[in-house]
Amino acid sequence: MSANLPRPFKKWGQNFLVDPPLREKIMREMKLTPDDLVVEVGPGTGVLTELLLPAVRRVHAVELDQRMSEYLDPLAAQHSTFTWEQGDFLDWAPENDAPRFRLFGNLPFYISSPLILKTFALRGHLIDAHFLLQKEMARRLAAEVGTKSYGILTVYARLFGRVKYLFDISRNVFYPKPEVDSGFISITFPEVDRISGNLELTLRAVVRSAFQHRRKTLHNSLGAVLPDSFVLGKWLDETLRADAVTPEQYLELARTIVDFTSGMGLTKPVY
């Protein structure tokens, strides 16, 4: 199988999925429909793209590795419903008036956190996202409050969408074989986003500050970002640490700060 694949670039974390039954299982789990518009992150040689195409209306892929044109150009020539572009998905954006679409990808381990954050930033355009991820990252997204894995991405995932861990994926189904196993997850996004504008910026500032100093109490970790004269203890137990605060408590604190500042909130970008 590896003889038919391009040489993987370690710097891009390339691991090709070489197990046909697992590819079919992934497609079944996504519950694709003929009306779906799918954007695929990092299609590689297009083995999963080929399975997507008969099941959906259109697929557009974003691939960083120009070498993959050897595989993707013929696929585009055969299927009028497939287009692709060479580039970094972190720099990609849909048209403002684009219909909502489904996002899919086998995410490189080394850049999975930025790609997940990018997904949350695109949520207004998304129906859902399905990703193959390093198992540790997948567990972080679905972690419980108070656990070691609970963190910034967990809070965002719970507030911006609904995460479901679907199944484990062995490291043995990839070439080259990575050092750890993976997992397949879905993130479903609501049609109406309840968090935007200054509320979102405030939420991100609070959560990031809290988890940058996760062993400190909120009194100490949030002191630098809270408005003057804002009394944290009036709204939340300031002796708590970051991993003891629920996503809804973070959101309520952000709302309180926005109200306290007459709608301004904490508007310094934190991406």
Q: What is the DSSP string of 206-256?
A: HHHHHHHTTTSBHHHHSTTTSPTT--GGGTS-TT-BGGGS-HHHHHHHHHH
Confidence of residue 250 (pLDDT cuts 50, 70, 90): very high
Tally of domains within the chain: 2
Instruction: Specify if 136 maps to a domain.
Output: yes
Phi, psi of 214 (to 5 degrees): -65, -20
Q: CA 164, CA 78: separation in Å to the nearest integer?
A: 34
Where does a domain end: 157, 188, 219?
188
Same domain, 83 and 22: yes
Same domain, 51 and 158: yes
Average pLDDT over residues 215-237: 90
In terms of Cβ atoms closer than 10 Å to its own Cβ (0-12, 13-18, 19+), residue 169 is buried
- Between the alpha carbon of residue 109 and those of residues 72, 211, 259, the distances in Å are 23, 22, 39
pLDDT of residue 16: 87
- Between the alpha carbon of residue 222 and those of residues 205, 227, 232, 234, the distances in Å are 9, 10, 9, 14
Residue 58: which CATH number?
A: 3.40.50.150
Instruction: Specify if 270 maps to a domain.
Output: no
Q: Out of 107-111, 135-139, 202-206, which region has the weakest mean confidence (pLDDT)?
A: 107-111
Instruction: Specify if 223 maps to a domain.
Output: yes
Q: In 113-137, which positions are buried (b, 16+ CB within 10 angstroms) versus exposed (e)? A: eebbbbbbebbebbbbbbbbbbbeb
Where does a domain end: 188, 208, 233?
188
Where does a domain end: 188, 213, 245?
188
Same domain, 216 and 250: yes
Average pLDDT over residues 170-188: 94
Instruction: Specify if 266 maps to a domain.
Output: no
Same domain, 182 and 224: no
Same domain, 184 and 214: no
pLDDT of residue 26: 98
* Coil vs helix vs strand at 105: strand
Higher pLDDT, 248 or 16: 248
Same domain, 24 and 138: yes
Same domain, 16 and 54: yes
Instruction: Specify if 269 maps to a domain.
Output: no
Same domain, 152 and 255: no
Residue 221: which CATH number?
A: 1.10.8.100
Mean pLDDT across the chain = 92
Percent of the chain with pLDDT over 70: 93
Confidence of residue 225 (pLDDT cuts 50, 70, 90): confident
Instruction: Specify if 44 maps to a domain.
Output: yes
pLDDT of residue 1: 46
Task: Write the pLDDT tens digit of every residue in 5-60.
Answer: 667 656 556 788 999 999 999 999 999 999 999 999 999 999 999 999 999 999 99
* Structure-token pair, residue 213: 């100093």
Contact 151, 241 (CB under 8 A): no
pLDDT of residue 267: 61
Same domain, 33 and 95: yes
pLDDT of residue 2: 47
Q: What is the span of the domain harbouring residue 26? A: 2-188
